[in-house]
Every structure is written in structure tokens, then in C-alpha cells.
Amino acid sequence: MAIQRSDIHRPSVIVPEDYDYVCTLGDSEFGYGRQEMEAFNAHRLRTGGRMSDHAHGGSCHVCGAMALYRVIWYHHPTNSYIATGYDCADKLGGGDPEIFKRLKDEAARARKAKAGKEKAKQTLTDRNLFRAWEIFELDWTAHNKHRSTIQEMIHKLIRYGDLSEKQFDLIGKLIDWHDNYEERKAQQETERKAQHDAAKSIPATDKRFTIEGKVLSIKPVESDYGVTMKLLLVADDGWKVYGSVPSGMGAEAGFGRGCRIRFDARVTVAEDDPKFGFYSRPTKAALVEAAPEQAD
């Protein structure tokens, strides 16, 4: 049964000059559009107006048709707001096709992302890896490295729809590492302390001497003089030294984390730890044993 209308917004009596354009709202399923909604809220805060409650039969408050994307108008004679579809908005002078296109594109991207998330959740469930999704949804501001990697991989799964078998296997390992992170961290601290207690002190001398041991880490360090590659080495006696990668060693085949090297240098022992020092001006560097991942 058709609605018998007597309101001032019906098409036969509407006065376009009485309406001011406010904003264009998108698909309600995806939040209308943040910027547009902020503009609407700011306008209502200034005027104190409310949406018109007249009977109209649809989502367009003028013609009564159903419209997914709507333009909001301020009716200043009654200090109220109405919503219209694109056709009625165009008649009122505010049907900007570019805004409608932008909102439709945003909704299309949101639908694609939503579908990608649902597919990713189902894929993980089928592989008994749903725990990864629970980790993915955790607070990004409080994370460890395993959680970060899981979240990055789930983003790829959402975007591309699938991962390789190796990547799924890695997710399984990451779940275990993440869920046992604190326990493993405590165990590592215990092992590190035991190793430190068992280590000997660095030889007490201000002269250069031969250092040989295993490279624990290599990293670039930036300073006022540029970027320098630094390494941390543990000697067979357990003490550790830190300093610049010896000249030419970085280009040596097999040089990397886990390799064994030898060089001569002077070492300054740390004031608070006789088992840790800083070496300087390394010379006579030689690769003793290639890094495991690079060995033939």
C-alpha cells in the first residue's frame, strides 16, 4: 500500500534552495566512509539538528526508493537532515559522481578484504592452524618477533588466497615458538648465564694477540662516518669480543654467522665484565671454517 505523504520533502513540493549539501555516505556494512561520517557528525554538532522522521517508504527520503549510497542534506527551515539516493541528489544539485565512485571503490576493497579474511580463516582451520588466526588478531603494539612474522604471513594469505606448503609448515613452527616464547626465553637466559659463568676471562694484556672463534652475529651499524659492519665473536674459552669486520673478510666466500675466523687485534675489556671486550684494528684475518649454511 502506497504511503500518502504530506511532508515538505515529497518530490512534488520540494524546494532545492532549502537544502544544503553535507556529505555522501557509503555502504553501511563498511562504516559509510570515515571522512564523510566525520563531516556529518561535525555538522550535526554545530546545528543540533536531527534526521527527519517523516514517512517516506525507502532509504531515499525524497522519492522513497532504496539506495545503498546516500547523500545527506541539511534542511535549514526545519533544522533537520534527510538522505537521498543519487538521482534525487542530482536534482538537488549535489550528486557528485566522483564521490559516489570513491565510496563504491572503498566498499569493493572492503568486500574483497572481508572475503579474503573469511577464506584465510577457513584455510587455516582446514589445516589445523587456526591458532595462527588468533595470534594474527592480537594487539600489534605488544608483539614478539614470532607474532610479527605470523601476522605478516596471514596478511599474505588474505591478499593472495594461498601460501606454499613450506610457508604453512613455517606457520606451524611459529605458533609453537610464539606460544612457548616466554618459556624458551627463560631457558635461553639460563643457558646464557651458565655459558657466561663457565667462560674464562679475556687474556689480561694491552698488546695485540691472536683471536680465534665462532662468529655469533654480523650487523651493519650506522655512525657519523657511514655504515660499518660489526661482528660478535665467541672464543673457545667462552669470552666474547665485539668490533668491526676485518678488512676483506666480508667478501670471503663462506664468511657469515656461524663461521670460524682468526685475526690479530688489541682488546679493551669491558669495565663491568672481564669476559666481554671490544677489539680494534684487526689484521691478518683468515677464515678458518665456513659458515654452516654456506659450507659446501
Judge if 177 and 211 occupy the same domain: no
Phi-psi region of 31 (alpha: psi -120 to 50; beta: other; left: phi over 0): left
Residue 117 CB neighbour total at 10 angstroms: 15
Residue 28's pLDDT is 57
Q: Pick the residue with more confidence: 286 or 139?
A: 286
Q: Among 2-6, 96-100, 256-260, which range has the highest average pLDDT?
A: 256-260
Q: How many domains is the chain partitioned into structurally? A: 3
- Please give the backbone phi and psi of residue 228, each rounded to the nearest 5 degrees, phi first: -120, 140
On whether residue 239 sits in a domain, the answer given is yes
Q: What is the largest CA-CA distance in the chain?
A: 103
On whether residue 3 sits in a domain, the answer given is no
On whether residue 66 sits in a domain, the answer given is yes
Judge if 177 and 234 occupy the same domain: no
Q: Tell me which of 181, 208, 234 is where a domain ends.
A: 181
pLDDT band, very low/low/confident/very high, at 214 (cuts 50, 70, 90): very high
All three cell numbers of 72: 545527506
Residue 295's pLDDT is 43
- pLDDT tens per residue, range 121-166: 999 999 999 999 998 887 665 556 788 889 889 999 998 999 999 9
Residue 166's pLDDT is 94
Q: Tell me which of 62, 95, 128 is where a domain ends.
A: 95
Residue 91 confidence (pLDDT) above 80? yes
Residue 160, classed as helix, strand or coil, is: helix
Q: Measuring CA to CA, which residue among 233, 230, 227 is closest to residue 244?
A: 230
Judge if 234 and 148 occupy the same domain: no
Judge if 270 and 221 occupy the same domain: yes
pLDDT band, very low/low/confident/very high, at 296 (cuts 50, 70, 90): very low
On whether residue 170 sits in a domain, the answer given is yes
Buried b (16+ CB within 10 A) or exposed e, 44-58: beeeebeebebebee
- Cα–Cα dist 128/131, whole Å: 8
All three cell numbers of 35: 571522512
- Cα–Cα dist 171/167, whole Å: 6
| Residue 75 DSSP code | E
On whether residue 110 sits in a domain, the answer given is no
- Cα–Cα dist 120/163, whole Å: 10
Give CA angle at 104 (74, 42), nearest 5°. Answer: 30
Judge if 210 and 259 occupy the same domain: yes
On whether residue 84 sits in a domain, the answer given is yes
| pTM for this model (two decimals) | 0.47
Phi-psi region of 229 (alpha: psi -120 to 50; beta: other; left: phi over 0): beta
Residue 230, classed as helix, strand or coil, is: strand
Q: Tell me which of 95, 127, 158 is where a domain ends.
A: 95
pLDDT band, very low/low/confident/very high, at 68 (cuts 50, 70, 90): confident
User: What sign has the CA pseudo-torsion 250, 251, 256, 262?
Assistant: negative
Grid coordinates 505523504 are at which residue?
Answer: 5
All three cell numbers of 2: 502506497
- Cα–Cα dist 174/131, whole Å: 10
Residue 226 confidence (pLDDT) above 80? yes
- pLDDT tens per residue, range 25-67: 876 555 556 777 888 899 999 999 999 998 888 888 998 888 7
Out of 90-99, 158-167, 268-277, least confident range: 90-99
Task: Give Cα separations from 199 to 181, 206, 240, 276 (angstroms).
Answer: 26, 20, 9, 10
Judge if 288 and 211 occupy the same domain: yes
Q: Pick the residue with more confidence: 111 or 154?
A: 154
On whether residue 104 sits in a domain, the answer given is no
Judge if 289 and 216 occupy the same domain: yes
User: What sign has the CA pseudo-torsion 86, 90, 93, 97?
Assistant: positive
On whether residue 10 sits in a domain, the answer given is no
Judge if 173 and 204 occupy the same domain: no
Give CA angle at 37 (32, 38), nearest 5°. Answer: 150
| Residue 39 DSSP code | H
| C-alpha 209: how far from chain center | 47
Chain mean pLDDT for the chain: 87
Judge if 160 and 207 occupy the same domain: no
Residue 99 neighbours by CB under 8 Å, 6+ apart: 24, 36
Judge if 130 and 168 occupy the same domain: yes
Residue 1 confidence (pLDDT) above 60? no
Q: Could you list the residue range(s) of the whole structural domain that residue 229 is in?
A: 200-294
Judge if 173 and 240 occupy the same domain: no
Judge if 221 and 260 occupy the same domain: yes
